[in-house]
Each structure stands twice: as structure tokens, then as C-alpha cells.
Structure 1
Amino acid sequence: MISKKDSKNPFIKTPLKCWDIYIQSVFSNKIPGSIEQDKATLEYFKDRFKWDTQWDILEENYDALVLTDLNKHIIWVNQGFKKMTGYSPHFAIGKKPSFLQGECTSTLALKEFKRKLSLDLPFQSKLINYKLDHSTYLCQIHIFPLKNISGNTSHFLALETEI
């Protein structure tokens, strides 16, 4: 709640109105399992961005989900992202996933990752990433381009697993 002065009442409480952040708290309180929570949140984004996709891809094993726009800015991560990396969703949103990379991340692997991304097809890759505590981990990443009803890719969904 934000405090706001008013001539009749010196402090009126008004709620924050950022839907993308709010929606996570709604689903995390009402949906018991994390896969169900992830599907429900992705359904919201599916309606918002008019994706033509099914969520059978979520039947794969994953620790974290990362949703990016075409400019590779993170617009959503699930709660598993914090468990895997130590970074909160609030910290990650708006950044590029490259904030997880460092000196041990292979430049050759990054070039190959970018090449595969440009093909606009699902693919898998492995990268050495860094956690909040600066420790490294090997991340298996499965990327899915998300296409709108016109058939154009508008976002990418990454299913990530620490191996």
C-alpha cells in the first residue's frame, strides 16, 4: 500500500497497480503446486500476447522458467528461478539473462546460443552461469519461441535445470 495525502483524510491507502507483479502473488496464494502456478501465469501471458501455444512443454523437468521478449529482456520468472539462482523475480525482471554469466561462461557457447536463437526454433544448450552468491552452476536450457496467432515469434520461454 502507498500512503497518499487527501484534504479530508491525511492518509489514504491505495494499492499498487502493477498487474504483472500482482498476478504472481495471486497465483502463488491460490494454486498449490508450482507447475499449476506456472501454467496459470503463462495462461495469463498467453491471453495478453495472443500466443498460439499449448503448455505440454511444461511436462518436461525444469527448475526455473524465464520468459523474455524479443529484445531478450526478462518479463517474468517463476519462483524456481530464485531457488536455482538466489535472485528474486523482482531483481531479474527487466534485465537480460546475461546478468547470470561471467568469466567462466564460454564465449563459444554464447555464440552458438545466439546462433540457435536466431533460427527461431526450439533448442537446447548448456551454459555456465553464476548464482547470487557468485558460485557457478551448469545450466541446461531448453528454449521455446512463443508465436502469436499470426505465426510470428513474440517471446521466448526458457526451461532451465541445474545439472
Structure 2
Amino acid sequence: MKNSLSKMACLDLYLSKLSKEEYDAINLEEEDYKEKIMPLISWDVFEESKLKRLEAIERKTDIDIIKSFAKEHKWKNDLDLIFSKHDFDAIVITNRYQKIQWVNNGFTKMTGYSKKYAINKHPSFLQGKLTSDKTKESIRKHINANKPFKEVIINYKKDKTPYKCEISVFPLYNNKTTHFVALEREVV
């Protein structure tokens, strides 16, 4: 069944590219073709594949940007290891005073805030009344200890919708910690 669906989808594509004369020359029996016609499903597969490729390109671009920051600041972190072991939608880089220096497009998609708006703000601008004081304190302790950590915090989107955000934070260092990178994703 799957194979015949695939063949029909390919036939649909082929026939759609023919001129009227080429189509008429094939001389398909209309009744036979109508009985076998299937919905065009190959577009779903194509679009899903295209979306995955675009996401992979965007992810690689984000990582390359961070690697250029790493080169500039002479960070000694193994960024390839960090990015290979953690799922994320958004990336936030802060300086050692926790002021945002850079965010990726995933941050904008996840929160609704533009890159321009986020720059030079503290990530706490995403917090609100449901954000746990205990979680905020835990994050502060981990940052002050300069140790990597993972937390789930309730943040707020630009439209004031709360969401659970899993953050994996890593100090970025040369001889000392100069920045932090947070890999973030919305969780259920």
C-alpha cells in the first residue's frame, strides 16, 4: 500500500508538469485513472524533510556564531560536547553580570521577545508571579558557584503566557568565567 501511494504521488507530480499536448498524448483512460487517484501526500513528506533541514542549518549557524564568540573571548569550553549532549530551542549568552549579550532566533520564537529587546536585560525579565523563589535562589547559587546546572523555571512569554522552561547553563571561561550560555527549551 505504502509503495503504491508513493507511486501515485510521483505520478501526480509527473502529470502536473506536462503540457496539455504531452498529457493528451499519454491517452490515459480517465475512468481507470480516477479509480486509482490518491491524495497527494508527498508534499507532507517533502515539507517535513525541508523543515528538518532548515532547523539543522539554523542550529549549525547558531553554534558557529557561538564558536566565533568563543574564539574572540578565548573560551576553553568544549562547545561541541555541550551542544551535542543537550536539546534546546533557544540560546542565551549573558556576560558574567547576567546581562544578555546575544540570543538566537529560537529565543524569539519561544518567548515572543525580539533580539533587540532582550539585549542588555537580565533574564529575570521573563519571570513573573508563578516563578518560584526557590528556583530563582537555586539558579543564583549555581551561577555564583560557576558550575554547570540544569533547572526548570516558569517564565513568561511576551503575551504574558506562562511556560515551563528547562535551562541548561554553562559558565564560559578562559582563565576565569567571562560569560554564561543557557540552552533553553519549553517543557510540559
TM-score (norm 1): 0.77
Q: Distance in 2 between matches of 1:43 and 1:161?
A: 21
Letter in 1 for 2:111: T
Structure with bigger gyration radius: 2
Alpha-carbon separation, structure 2, partners of 1:132 and 1:162: 14
For residues 53 and 34 of structure 1, what CA distance do their matches in structure 2 show? 22
Match of 1:84 among 87, 101, 110: 110
Tell whether 2:83 aligns with 1:58.
yes
Instruction: Report the Cα distance in structure 1 between the residues aligned to 2:171 and 2:63, rounded to whole angstroms.
Output: 16
1:54 shift after superposition: 2.2
Unaligned runs of at least 5 residues, structure 1: 1-31
Counterpart AA for 1:51: W
Indicate the residue corresponding to 2:145 in structure 1: 119
> Percent same amino acid among aligned pairs?
41
2:92 is paired with a residue whose SS is strand
Answer 1 or 2: which has greater strand percent.
1
Deviations 1:108-143 (A, max 9, x none): 111111111111111011110000110000000100
- Mapping of 1:1-163 within 5 angstroms? 33-55=57-79, 56-59=81-84, 60-148=86-174, 150=175, 152-163=176-187
More helix, by proportion: 2
Q: Cα distance, 1:49 vs. partner?
A: 1.1
Whole-angstrom CA distance in 2 between matches of 1:112 and 1:39: 27
2:26 match: none
* Contact map agreement 1:35 1:58 (CA 8 A) in 2: no
CA RMSD of aligned residues (A): 1.4
CA distances 1:53-84 after superposition (whole Å, capped 9, x unpaired): 22221122101000000110000001100110
How far off its partner does 1:88 sit? 0.9
1:11 is aligned to: none
User: Unaligned regions of 5+ residues in structure 2, if any?
Assistant: 1-55
Aligned length: 131
CA contact (8 A) 1:67 1:155 kept: yes
Q: What is the alpha-carbon distance in structure 2 between the residues aligned to residue 119 and residue 54 of structure 1?
A: 19
